[in-house]
Amino acid sequence: MTRVVELPAADRPREKLIARGARALSDAELIAVLLRTGRAGEGVLELAQAWLDDAGGLHRLAALDVEQLLRRPGVGPAKGLVLAAALELGRRLARRDLAAQPVYDRPEAVAAWVQHEHLDRGVEVFGCLTLDARHRVLRDRVLHVGLRDQAAVEPATVFKAAIADDAHAVIVWHTHPSGDPSPSADDEELTRRLAEAGALLRIRLLDHVVVGRAAWVSLRERGVVPHG
């Protein structure tokens, strides 16, 4: 990778940030701005790209805690702590954005949250968002991790969590780490059972969102979850 000092001034991360704004920078360039300098034998852009590659991408880098960031060979606390603080600010903004907006009409917001918080596990994760009367998020609950059969998640599991949170509605979600968010027949059947149980308990199922790395599917938009 070309070293920063060898790049034209307009292509250097800091100069590009000033001239064109943060959106113009790649993930590696933004991390390079935070790190400021490289280390012996490794320029700052190389260092930033290596962090991304080793972690498995930005979403997985963002999931690392401070100890994991500081464990990288040759990285002192100055660089590790700056990056840890920046990533935590991003996570807090994402949480506040989710909590502040009505998710009922925005399954894409649920998908973005799940991609950010849960896809790094590498296995299927099933959970629910419990919502208040205005459909604001009360809590994000993980209910099952790993391969799921018909008995792994029952309506009782979901609505026990909803009752504990004094929720008025729920949105269930689960991940497909393979990347393909196409719901299975079992997913659709479970969704129908959840909708029926919610109607009896007067805790409405608003949606079931299946989330892959780059795509998602809303079972409400597919008509599996009743409207109204």
Q: Where is the domain boundary, 35, 64, 96?
A: 96
Last residue of a domain, one of 67, 96, 125: 96
Among 96, 119, 144, which residue terminates a domain?
A: 96
Could you tell me the residue range of the domain that residue 82 belongs to?
A: 4-96
Note whether 66 and 117 are same-domain residues. Answer: no
Residue 225 lies in a domain: no
State how many domains the chain has: 2
Kindly write down the DSSP assignment for every residue of the chain, as one continuous string: ---GGGS-GGGSHHHHHHHH-GGGS-HHHHHHHHH---BTTB-HHHHHHHHHHHHTSHHHHTT--HHHHHTSTT--HHHHHHHHHHHHHHHHHHHHHHHHS--TT-HHHHHHHHHHHHGGGSS-EEEEEEE-TT--EEEEEEEEES---TTTS-HHHHHHHHHHTT-SEEEEEEE-TTS--PPPHHHHHHHHHHHHHHHHHT-EEEEEEEE-SS-EEETTTTTSSPP-
Q: What is the pLDDT along the chain (228 residues), one digit of tens a residue?
A: 557 767 787 888 889 899 889 889 899 999 989 988 888 778 888 888 888 888 888 877 877 778 888 887 767 888 889 988 988 888 777 767 666 666 656 888 899 888 888 887 778 999 999 999 888 888 889 999 887 655 568 899 999 999 999 999 999 999 998 888 999 899 999 999 999 999 999 999 999 999 998 899 999 999 999 876
Residue 88 sits in the same domain as residue 172: no
